[in-house]
């Protein structure tokens, strides 16, 4: 997995929600759902500090305007972000419980509608491995 520790400084709750508000539709439901899973895991007192460090690094990468593929690149700008978010999810998957999934699912369904259930299932399938 990529070392995202240099992106920790880019993370804050405010910057996370600002990025989602500004780019959710452009990023797509898979990216948003993966980011929300990590965000809600970060809020959980059950998740250990080591796992939270991984989460903050990945969310910092997502927030940072300076990543491998700039987010403004049409069609592929959030592809690297999705890879980093899924990598972090796989690392902390044992801490992603039903409550975290429900919170992330409800939020992403509010934003994108029920037509994106396949995208949610795609991410959840990655977590089940």
So what's the pLDDT on residue 3? 65
Provide the residue range defining the domain that includes 107. Answer: 5-127
- The backbone torsions φ and ψ at residue 128, rounded to the nearest 5 degrees and listed phi first, read -80, -10
The pLDDT tens digits along the chain (129 residues) read: 556 666 778 888 999 999 889 888 888 899 999 999 999 999 999 999 999 999 999 999 988 876 555 554 444 567 788 889 999 999 999 999 999 999 999 999 999 999 999 999 999 998 887
Domains: count for the chain? 1
**How many angstroms separate the Cα of 61 from the Cα of each of 9, 33, 45, 57, 58?**
10, 16, 23, 6, 5
- Model pLDDT, residue 74: 44
The answer to whether the beta carbons of residues 33 and 106 sit under 8 Å apart is: no
- pLDDT recorded at residue 68: 53
56: left (phi over 0), alpha (psi -120 to 50) or beta: alpha
């Amino acid at each position: 997995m990529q070392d995202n520790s240099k992106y920790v400084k880019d993370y804050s709750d405010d910057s996370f929600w600002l990025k989602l508000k500004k780019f959710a539709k452009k990023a797509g439901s898979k990216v948003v759902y993966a980011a929300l899973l990590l965000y809600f895991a970060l809020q959980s007192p059950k998740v250990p500090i080591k796992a939270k460090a991984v989460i903050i690094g990945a969310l910092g990468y997502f927030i940072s305007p300076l990543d491998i593929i700039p987010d403004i690149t049409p069609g592929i700008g959030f592809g690297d972000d999705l890879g980093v978010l899924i990598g972090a999810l796989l690392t902390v998957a044992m801490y992603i419980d039903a409550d975290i999934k429900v919170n992330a699912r409800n939020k992403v369904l509010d934003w994108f509608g029920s037509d994106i259930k396949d995208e949610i299932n795609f991410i959840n399938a990655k977590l089940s491995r």
